[in-house]
Structure formats: C-alpha cells, structure tokens
C-alpha cells in the first residue's frame, strides 16, 4: 500500500513521524510565512510574527494538556538530557535528597546527573529484571522530606510505561519525553514535567518544561542564568534565542491535535495501534516474545524478540525492503522495537502485524 509522497512506515524511536498535514502546512509556509516575506527559520525571534507563534504554541499546549494557571510552560533547549542535570542543579545541593524510580535506561541516566548535585536515592530499580516492568506506586522506601521524586513515564528503549498518574506526598518530577500528549494526564499531580519535542510534538530542538509556581519558588538561587528556571519564566522562554523552528512546528502539531479531538481521541488511537502489534506478538505461538510485562506494555514503543539474532536480522531486512523503517531494537533489549508515536498511522501497525504473521509461518 503506497503512502502519501512515497513515505515509508517510519518506526524510529525519535526523531520520528510527524503528521503529514503538519508537514504540508510547514511546506506551504516555508518561503513566505503569512505574508511576512520570509520563512520562520529566517525570522527574528523578537518579531511580532514570532512572538505570536510562541505565544500561541504555549496557549495551545496549555489547553491540550489542561495545564492549570499556576504552572509555567517553558520552551528550552538542550533536550531532556539537559533537564537530567538542570533539575538537580535547581532543587538539590549539599545535604538535600531526591528519590529516583528507575525503570529503564533514561531513568538511569537521570540518576547519574543528579548524583553530581546532591543525594539521588534510588528507591526502585528494575534492572534485575532487565527493566521489563514498572512498580506499583505503593513503594515502601520514599524518603521523608525528599526534595522530589523523579520517574520516567515511558521508557523508550525497554518499552515499559506507567499507566496512572502518581499520587505522592513528595513533589513529583517526571520525564515525559516519549509519551507526552499521547493521553490525558492530571498535571496537578506533578510539580515538574519535561519532555524533548522530537517524539510526539515536533522536530528536535525544543524541550518543554512545565513547572508549578510553588516549585519554581523553591529553585536554588545563584545559578547561571541559562540554568535558572526563573530567568526563563520571566523572559517568556526568550532569555536567549529559542529553538524557533522546532517551537513553530510544535505549535502546528498542537493545533492539529486540538482540531482532531485532543488527548482523549489521541489515547484511543494509541491504544488501537498498540493492540494490533501486541495481538500479533501474543498470537504468534511464542515465535515473538514481548519484552514488557503485561500491564506495563508501552503504547509508544513495542519491544519484542525473535528466537535468534539471525532471524531478527533477516526480519529487519525483509521489513525494510517492504517499506518499514527503523525496527531494529536497542542492543540492551535485542530483537525489535516498533515506535508508534502519535502521528504514526495504524496502517503501518497493520502492515507490520501482517509481516510478523507471515515471517513466523515461514520460519517458526
Ligand atoms: N528521556 C527519554 C524517555 C527519552 O526517550 C530520551 C530520548 N530518546 C531522552 C530522555 C533524552 O532526550 P534528548 O535526546 O532530547 O536529550
């Protein structure tokens, strides 16, 4: 089945597929954005046109994710990886402790950075089971008086996802990079949410940080301005030149999602798409094995293994030849990973499921 513009089914873990309608809009505006005589790439971030672009992006994201009025929304740079360091820089220090729940590779990286700035107390680590699950929220080991608890909603490499918002007494800081905007969340359960743009929002470059005012007030003083959330908030994310193009495309994606039923509709689509692939795994008679335990299977990154590395390589080659790109899994899990973010079409999941069935029949 041919895709618009001969596009492949792009299963990349990020950067990844964006909505065709959004790409077309960006293309149409490329040479002359709404009569300004220039593209957004070429435009001063201090111009009226750009102020409107970033202002609307913020407003639309606030509406989409139902962000309460006492939260700031910042568009920063440096990726989620910079937030791994910026969060502890702002909220830890000598004698201060934060709890970390580690359910995969990204949570582990967050701990490595936090340790530099204070005590990062790992209260749960699923490493023993090769990160195949998320724990219950009733963990016994929360530290009294911790500055915050950090967790990762969706571990992109292992394909495990928390299904509920936390309800904890410590302030919650969350890396939502790989499932933000895939479902409604109760933002009031979090003090800080951060996410790189390049999965569900737009091209790489922008990092969204959503911070409650009461948490912002507790941030350490005396940091260099680029690490000081107050400075970014006071300057409307324009302390320095922002990731103009990335924010612009994120804004187009937010409008696209608002036009198409918002997060409730998005969640249904994500569930339907993931079901196609998990059904293919479960009905394969053991030929394909899902990595994540049931109950915490990611709706964004479907991870599974085949009986051998040789078969995995053949499967990846065959699917690639059939227009399915990027299925090779991360070496720490092996097998395959199908990343099916918001904009990934269900037809791609159906094509992969059919390929899996056919491959198992020939090689099982
Ligand atoms: N956290 C998660 C859950 C991720 O998936 C990624 C990137 N794949 C990161 C953090 C790191 O993001 P960045 O590359 O934007 O720094």
Domain 24-259 has CATH 3.40.640.10: yes
Fold match, 24-259 / 262-363: no
338 CA → ligand 1 middle, Å: 17
| 1-20 pLDDT, tens digit each | 579 999 999 999 999 999 99
27 CA → ligand 1 middle, Å: 27
Q: Give the C-alpha separation, 280 to 283, whole Å.
A: 5
pTM above 0.85, yes or no: yes
Is 137 marked active-site?
A: no
Q: Give the C-alpha separation, 131 to 151, whole Å.
A: 13
Which fold, 262-363? 3.90.1150
In our burial notation (b when 16+ CB lie closer than 10 A, e otherwise), range 7-40 reads eebbbbbbbbbbbeebbebbeeeeeebeeeeeeb
Q: Check pLDDT > 80 for residue 80.
A: yes
Q: Which residues pair with 196 in a beta bridge?
A: 207
207 CA → ligand 1 middle, Å: 10
CB distance 312 to 287 below 8 Å = no
CB atoms under 10 Å from CB of 5, counted, come to: 8
Mean pLDDT of 210-219: 98
Domain range list for the chain:
24-259, 262-363
72, 199, 273, 328: which one is catalytic? Answer: 199
| 272-282 pLDDT, tens digit each | 999 999 999 99
Out of 151, 156, 199, 200, give the residue to mutate to test ligand 1, the one with the largest number of ligand atoms within 8 Å of its CB.
156
Output the average pLDDT for the chain.
97
CB atoms under 10 Å from CB of 242, counted, come to: 23
Is 48 marked active-site?
A: no
DSSP secondary-structure letter at 344?
S
| 346-356 pLDDT, tens digit each | 999 999 999 99
Q: Give the C-alpha separation, 181 to 184, whole Å.
A: 7
Mean pLDDT of 294-307: 98
Q: H/E element holding 48?
A: helix 48-65
Q: Check pLDDT > 80 for residue 270.
A: yes
Q: Whose CA is nearest to atom 12 of ligand 1?
A: 80
Out of 16, 75, 78, 79, give the residue to mutate to test ligand 1, the one with the largest number of ligand atoms within 8 Å of its CB.
79
- The reported pLDDT for the residue numbered 1 is 57
- The reported pLDDT for the residue numbered 140 is 76
């Amino acid at each position: 089945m041919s895709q618009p513009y001969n596009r492949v089914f792009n299963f990349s873990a990020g950067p990844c597929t964006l909505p065709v309608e959004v790409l077309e809009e960006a293309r149409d505006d490329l040479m002359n954005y709404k009569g300004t005589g220039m593209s957004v790439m070429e435009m001063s971030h201090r111009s009226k046109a750009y102020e409107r672009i970033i202002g609307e992006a913020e407003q639309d994201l606030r509406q989409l994710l139902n962000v309460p009025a006492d939260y700031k929304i910042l568009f920063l740079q440096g990726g989620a990886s910079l937030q791994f360091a910026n969060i502890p820089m702002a909220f830890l220090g000598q004698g201060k402790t934060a709890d970390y729940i580690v359910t995969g590779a990204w949570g582990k990286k967050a701990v490595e950075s936090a340790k530099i700035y204070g005590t990062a107390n790992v209260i749960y680590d699923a490493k023993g089971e090769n990160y195949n699950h998320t724990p219950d929220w009733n963990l016994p080991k929360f530290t009294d008086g911790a500055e915050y608890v950090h967790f990762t909603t969706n571990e992109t490499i292992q394909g495990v996802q928390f299904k509920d918002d936390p309800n904890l007494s410590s302030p919650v800081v969350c890396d939502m990079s790989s499932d933000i905007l895939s479902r409604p969340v109760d933002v009031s359960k979090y003090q800080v949410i951060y996410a790189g743009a390049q999965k569900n929002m737009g091209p790489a470059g922008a990092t969204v940080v959503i911070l409650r005012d009461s948490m912002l007030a507790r941030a350490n003083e005396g940091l260099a301005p680029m690490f000081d959330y107050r400075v970014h908030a006071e300057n409307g994310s324009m302390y320095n030149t922002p990731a103009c193009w990335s924010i612009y495309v994120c804004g187009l994606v937010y409008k696209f999602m608002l036009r198409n039923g918002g997060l409730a509709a998005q969640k249904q689509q994500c569930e339907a798409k993931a079901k196609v692939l998990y059904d293919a795994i479960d009905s394969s008679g053991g030929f394909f094995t899902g990595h994540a335990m049931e109950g915490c299977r990611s709706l964004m990154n479907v991870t599974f293994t085949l009986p051998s590395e040789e078969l995995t390589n053949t499967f990846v080659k065959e699917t690639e030849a059939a227009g399915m790109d990027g299925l090779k899994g991360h070496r720490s899990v092996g097998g395959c990973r199908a990343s099916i973010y918001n904009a990934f079409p269900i037809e791609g999941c159906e094509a992969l499921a059919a390929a899996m069935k056919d491959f198992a029949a020939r090689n099982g």
